[in-house]
Chain A
Amino acid sequence: MAILEGNKNNFEELVLNNNGKVLVDFNAEWCGPCKMLKPMLDEVAADRDDVSIVSVNIDDEDELSAKYGISSIPCLVLFENGAESKRSVGLIPRDEIENLIGGK
């Protein structure tokens, strides 16, 4: 599945109303580690159909990043059935992204 761009207007529909797993990637254009995480997220998105990935640009979406208390990026937040279940701060390798999402 392709990575979708999340914003304050579609966040409810894309993330909160989703009954499965959604991994939200909070990132910014100026953040080097975020850019390094991106190709790994693309791979996960291509490999797995049991999780949707939503990218949120924190500079455009300061309301969302404030709401979820983001204070360091990259920050990956996993939602299950619309509720936050796990989060990870900082650049992590591919297998840790998989661990965060959990089994298929």
Chain B
Amino acid sequence: MYDIIIVGAGPAGLTAAIYARRASKKVLVLEAKNYGGQIINTLDIENYPVEAHISGFEFATKLYEQAKNLGAEIVFEKVTEIRDNAGAKEIVTPKNTYKAKALILATGSENRKLGLPKEDELIGKGISYCATCDGAFFRKKNVAVVGGGNTALEDALYLSDIAEKVYLIHRRDEFRGEDSTVNQLKAKDNIEFVYNSTVSKLISEDRLNSIEVTNTSGEKRIIELDGLFVAIGRIPENQNFAKLIKLDQAGYVISGENCMTNVEGLFVAGDNRTKEVRQLVTATADGAVAATAAVKYINNIQ
């Protein structure tokens, strides 16, 4: 039996582990993929207090080592179910069932996919969710960016310096992103705006070679390209836990700044909960709040 099990080794989960270990609790962190969460692809973080510049990899590795050196156990298994058994928490992975007195969910969010056939098999063969990671492979090629928020705009701007031509496909005729970025984009001569349109088909042989877009009047157009960058936001992956905890319509765990959920002894930290600002500094803050609340909960039930 662990005191505290934390699901997710991103910034929120690892910070919770640090706080829980410093309170001398027995801590297990379960992680489905890699430590560090979504930040590991980011080349340069410029808004985390104290460090003016740090790469996502370095941020993640330092945090991981800090948690590990304090004695947190970190195991790479995906949590598929959580149960509340008369207060004791059971955490199920394909390999094991773990038990803990308190549980912190810090599962973050995932790239939202287009939801089109063949999308998964074309990842790395023309489809990407990260322009700064994969943009370099599209030098002097034709690419498209799908989306209308800041990420999509910044991706288009970044790619316009590398690629021959960039199509920016957006389902509306105005952007949600910042005006200054929109103006920078409009000043570029290799960006074509494809408004009021969505991607309706991915066309490939062994790799992506074109897409079909459909506009709001139902007209279809084929765009030949080498790369498609999907930047239509992120979604929380809380479905596995929906039986036990309350989620909002978008799938976020309903919680306030105290990181509590509708279940006693079950806390939530980071991007996967309802909140306004989803950033490293708010994720790590949640980690501290959730761990402190979990420690208090355990000390009270004993």
Contacts and interface: CB of A to CB of B under 8 A. Distances in A.
Contacts of A69: 125, 206-207
Interface of A: 28, 30-33, 35-36, 58-59, 65, 69-73, 75, 89-91, 93-94
B134 interface: yes
A94 B33 CA distance: 10
Given A33-B40, A36-B34, A91-B34, A72 B76 contact: no
B64 to A, nearest CB: 10
A33 B227 CA distance: 20
Q: Which bracket fits the contact residues of B?
A: 20 to 34
> Top 9 A-B pairs ranked by shortest CB distance?
A89-B124, A32-B57, A72-B124, A32-B40, A71-B137, A72-B134, A91-B34, A35-B57, A32-B56
Contact of A32 (B33, B55, B137): B55
Contacts of A35: 57, 61
Interface in B8-40: 33-36, 40
A94 B31 CA distance: 13
Contacts of A30: 43
Given A89-B123, A91-B34, A32 B42 contact: yes
B287 interface: no
Contacts of B270: none
A32 B126 contact: no
B76 to A, nearest CB: 5
Nearest to B56: A32
5 contacts: A36-B36, A59-B136, A71-B128, A71-B138, A73-B133
A33 B133 CA distance: 10
A72 B41 contact: no
A33 B207 CA distance: 23
Nearest to B208: A71
A73 B41 CA distance: 11
B60 interface: yes
B123 A72 contact: yes
A93 B76 CA distance: 8
Contacts of B41: 32-33
Interface string B107-131: 0000000000000000111101000
A71 B40 contact: no
Interface in B49-68: 55-57, 60-61
Contacts of A89: 123-124
